[in-house]
């Protein structure tokens, strides 16, 4: 659209136009280096440098990192996970996922992974939220003790609600819960808080039930996507398959035109088409 009366400073316009009569090739590299010189009037080389360097200016005001897409894994490391090679499979699957995220080069988002483990007396922030490209490795998980899942929910909520850890320019987080048993602590209240807090309720939640002892009802409540049922792992290699599916889902999202596209856009309550009930009083 275009469209306006010109009431600008004509002297300025013609002065600029006279300079722009000499057309210089645009830098093939966006934001080519701006070399500051002592300008002298009529020196074309000075003009070239200033034109080429203009793309650099926005660097002063912009954030030098892609928008984050946080992926937070809540991993059950209670004693039962030591059986049948489950904890070993989980270790391999998690490291494989992080390696794949880090190796993707055409992503439109900075995938960040955090790992909260729950086994023993309390949950632990095993791997603080960090860009995958900066996670060299993390200590192997070992399985022991009870299943303090409620504390893991509370930790996850703390991380997601913390705007210094996950800024408002981030895409909606993905939270993955992996468990093979029943929670052994008071989990209902932290679970409700996770599902209803201002930011955490917007996260995409996926759940993997390992074995027949997993609390599938609770895991089904955890998953907030009705189209995605609770995944079930009957054997250790299913854990790896699940994380490969998560990896593919996240990388597909982040390489797409809109990395939030797989998630519903929050627009509040949308009225029926044709209905117009305005409230401007």
Partner 1 sequence: MIRAAGVTLIGPAHAEMGLPNQDALGLWGWNRGWIAAVCDGVGSKPLSHIGSRLAATSVRRTIRSDISWENPNALVEILHRGWVEALKPLSPNEGATTVLMAACNASGNTFVAQLGDGIVLFSSNGQFGVLTPARTGFVNETTALGPSTSGDDWHLARLQLSRPGDGVLLATDGISDDLQPERLEKFFRAMCKEMASRNRRTGRKWFHRQLEAWPTPGHCDDKTIAIVYRAR
Q: Does 227 bind partner 1 (CB under 8 A)?
A: no
Q: Does 35 bind partner 1 (CB under 8 A)?
A: no
Q: Which is nearer to partner 1, 107 or 116 (CB)?
A: 107
Q: Give dist(CA 25, CA 44) in Å, integer.
A: 13
Q: Which of residues 157-196 bind partner 1 (CB under 8 A)?
A: 166, 168-173
What DSSP assignment string belongs to 132-148? GGG----PPP---S---
Which of 126, 240, 256, 262 touches partner 1 (CB under 8 A)?
A: 256
Q: Give dist(CA 133, CA 234) in Å, integer.
A: 32
Q: State the minimum distance, in angstroms, from the CB of residue 221 to partner 1.
A: 22
Q: Does 28 bind partner 1 (CB under 8 A)?
A: no
Say which residue the tokens 């899942």 belong to: 149
Query: Angle at CA 194, nearest 5°, toward 63 and 90?
Result: 80
Q: State the minimum distance, in angstroms, from the CB of residue 116 to partner 1.
A: 20
Q: Which is nearer to partner 1, 171 or 187 (CB)?
A: 171
Q: Does 8 bind partner 1 (CB under 8 A)?
A: yes
Stretch that binds partner 1, among 118-126, 140-148, 197-205, 233-241 (CB under 8 A): 197-205
Q: Does 136 bind partner 1 (CB under 8 A)?
A: no
Q: Which is nearer to partner 1, 91 or 254 (CB)?
A: 254
Give me the helix-helix angle, 149-161 and 188-196, nearest 10°: 20
Q: CB-based contacts of 62: which residues, under 8 Å, 6+ apart?
A: none
Stretch that binds partner 1, among 101-109, 135-143, 228-236, 241-249 (CB under 8 A): 101-109
Which of 12, 21, 38, 40 touches partner 1 (CB under 8 A)?
A: 12
Q: Which is nearer to partner 1, 139 or 271 (CB)?
A: 271
Q: Does 75 bind partner 1 (CB under 8 A)?
A: no
Tokens of 246: 């998560």
Tokens of 112: 């960040």
Q: CB-based contacts of 86: which residues, under 8 Å, 6+ apart?
A: 80, 143, 180, 210, 211, 236, 239
Nearest to 52 by CA among 81, 83, 31: 31
Q: Give dist(CA 256, CA 253) in Å, integer.
A: 5
- Decide if 145 contacts 182 (C-beta within 8 A): no
Which of 80, 86, 110, 157 touches partner 1 (CB under 8 A)?
A: 110
Stretch that binds partner 1, among 34-42, 86-94, 186-194, 271-279 (CB under 8 A): 271-279
Which of 22, 65, 144, 248 touches partner 1 (CB under 8 A)?
A: 65
Q: Does 274 bind partner 1 (CB under 8 A)?
A: yes
How far from 51 is each of 14, 30, 44, 136, 246, CA to CA, in Å?
17, 11, 11, 41, 45
Tokens of 162: 């913390």
Residue ranges binding partner 1 (CB under 8 A): 1-9, 12-13, 16-17, 20, 26, 30-31, 51, 54-67, 107-110, 166, 168-173, 198-199, 202, 256-261, 265-271, 273-274, 276-281
């Amino acid at each position: 659209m275009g469209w306006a009366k010109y009431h600008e400073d004509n002297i300025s316009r013609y002065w600029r136009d006279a300079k722009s009569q000499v057309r210089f090739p645009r830098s093939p590299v966006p934001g080519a280096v701006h070399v500051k010189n002592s300008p002298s009037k009529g020196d074309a080389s000075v003009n070239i440098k200033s034109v080429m360097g203009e793309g650099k200016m926005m660097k002063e005001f912009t954030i030098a990192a892609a928008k984050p897409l946080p992926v937070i894994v809540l991993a059950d490391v209670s004693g039962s996970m030591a059986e049948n090679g489950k904890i070993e499979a989980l270790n391999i699957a998690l490291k494989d996922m992080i390696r794949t995220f880090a190796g993707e080069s055409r992503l439109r988002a900075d995938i960040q992974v955090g790992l909260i483990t729950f086994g023993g007396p309390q949950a632990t922030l095993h791997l603080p939220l960090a860009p995958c490209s900066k996670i060299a490795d993390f200590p192997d998980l070992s399985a022991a003790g009870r299943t303090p899942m409620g504390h893991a929910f509370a930790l996850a909520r703390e991380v997601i609600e913390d705007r210094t850890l996950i800024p408002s320019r981030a895409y909606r987080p993905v939270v993955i819960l992996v468990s093979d048993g029943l929670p052994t602590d008071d989990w209902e209240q932290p679970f409700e808080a996770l599902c209803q807090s201002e930011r955490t309720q917007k996260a995409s939640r996926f759940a993997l039930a390992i074995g027949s002892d997993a609390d599938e009802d609770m895991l089904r409540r955890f998953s907030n996507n009705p189209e995605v049922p609770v995944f079930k792992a009957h054997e250790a290699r299913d854990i790896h398959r699940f994380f490969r599916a998560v990896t593919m889902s996240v990388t597909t999202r982040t390489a797409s035109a809109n990395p939030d596209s797989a998630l519903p856009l929050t627009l509040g309550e949308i009225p029926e088409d044709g209905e117009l009930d305005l409230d401007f009083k």
